[in-house]
Structure 1
Amino acid sequence: MTTLQKTSPARFHHIRVLSDQPERLVAFYERMLDLRVVGRDASGIVMTGPARGIIVGNAGSDDAPYYAYAVRDRAALDRLAQRLGAHAVDVSTLDDPLFEAGAVRFADPQGRRFVFGVAKAAPGLEGAPARLQHTVFQSTDLENVVRFFVDAVGFTLSDEVVDDDGRLMVAFLRSDDEHHTLAFFRGSRDEWDHHCYETNEWNDIRDWGDRFAQAEIPIFFGPGRHGPGNNLFFMVTDPDGNRLEFSAELERVDADKAPGVWPQSERTLNSWGRAWIRT
């Protein structure tokens, strides 16, 4: 089966968020994540850091947030565009300040916007290790959304979490060799759940925890270890309430490995203790 992992590996590259107080959000990401403002344009305030980026737009604009993945070259992007076209996905181009010209944009069945492109050369920026690695959503139409990303886009199902009746509750999807770069939880609302920064080791988790502690920003979930992905983690929120995860030791997965199946339980989401169960 042709997948992104095999033919056009894609990594989660940056996000575009909308804020009622964009300057406040920019100040948070400057202070806490070592991001720097590198431009301001119609898309918003453009920020980059070591292996991470964010565009902060004004919530009063007519545009929408989106989630951007980088492929290695134009040929890989063309292959993805052809695949999307073959599945009758409506694709348009987008001028994204962090991608080369010709990035492609599309929406999933529930209207979330995704952008794939070839990353521009990034300036050498210093900061604590934490590369942008995955994003997660809650969905009221889980099966249909997962089918779209697997069949039309080419993600691979790494693990699924099911309830006692065998109903799918969580799907972890990969677009490269890492366990997941995208995931969906079954929820009562359709909303952005969180985005995650992958560090190098456990000591980095400690150091990030200390940084947030010094700023008096409390951890609301973790520290712990997830079952699917086997990664260490903790979560905090930014001033707009967006959830950020910091992770280490995320599992790498062979391209042809069959998906795992996990029971819906606190231990699945946090083998160390209590978990945040979406409803």
Structure 2
Amino acid sequence: MKKKVVRKKMMVVGVLALALSVVISACGAKEQEGASSKPEKDKLTVVTTIAQIAEPLSVIGGDRIHVESLMGPGIDPHTYNASQGDIQKLESGDMIFYSGLHLEANMVKVFDEISKTRTVVAISESIAPEKLLKDEEGTTDPHVWFDIDLWKEAINNATEALKKERTQDADFFEANKVKYFEELDKLKLEAQAKLSEIPKDKRVLVTAHDAFGYFGRMLDIEVVGLQGLSTEDEIGLSDIEDTIQTLVKYEVPAVFVESSVNPASINAVIEGAKKQGLDVKLGGELFSDAMGVAGTEEGTYLGMYRHNVETIYHALNAK
């Protein structure tokens, strides 16, 4: 009987030791997890309109912030209306960032209301007016993320707001911004070198709407958009005809659709050029007002920009 009692005691001690080791191991895992990232409740909650703001801020903010973008792939910010779910997300955010310059035209009243209770920043509106492009009617072009230098100014504006909101993390945000801006500077040089290889008379970028003005100015490419600065602008037959004549004049080999814009107008241009004896190819899909799917290369600002440069290069530099 004594031997059985001793055996049972040993079994109990063994089970307790195993349980204790599991608890210690779990605690160690939690400590390691805490060392690499902050608990969700301690993070600054940031809500943005477009991914072109959200993704760079997620890099700069690191584990100190939680970022959510209202508009995903294929969404057109010019015509976007906030849903009830969007209002709730905005109200749950500590800080709200949008591009401004009338890009998110249908949400201005929402931002005005939300700004009464939390920080709301239109990051592009800090850029000096003389650096911005305007159309023939004097409307400011809001697609500033296609000029890397201007987008650095806008993202810097957002970073300064983050630093002001969380002073204890200011050095962390600044260090990450400096590293990220080094990547942007490399990207600019890459893009300039790549597109300079396209023959000068073939550097004509034809897209569905006029979103690439800053891109063209920075990279020395003539840009033709069938619609105006906003996708709400109407496309007339004269717009299509003028574009066809441009293609024929310069023998442009390709035109491009945009991920967030109906391709019907571009297809009409291709057909019209064919009738005049010019075989214009569809050069591919570009990201203009929206980026790619999160988790993919095109879902990052750097990857989206590189995709556009590569797509344009291969289509317009075709022999």
TM-score range (shorter-chain normalised) is: under 0.3
User: What's the TM-score once normalised by structure 1's chain length?
Assistant: 0.26
Report the structure number with the largest CA radius of gyration: 2
User: What's the TM-score once normalised by structure 2's chain length?
Assistant: 0.23
| Structure in which a larger fraction of residues adopt strand | 1
| Structure in which a larger fraction of residues adopt helix | 2
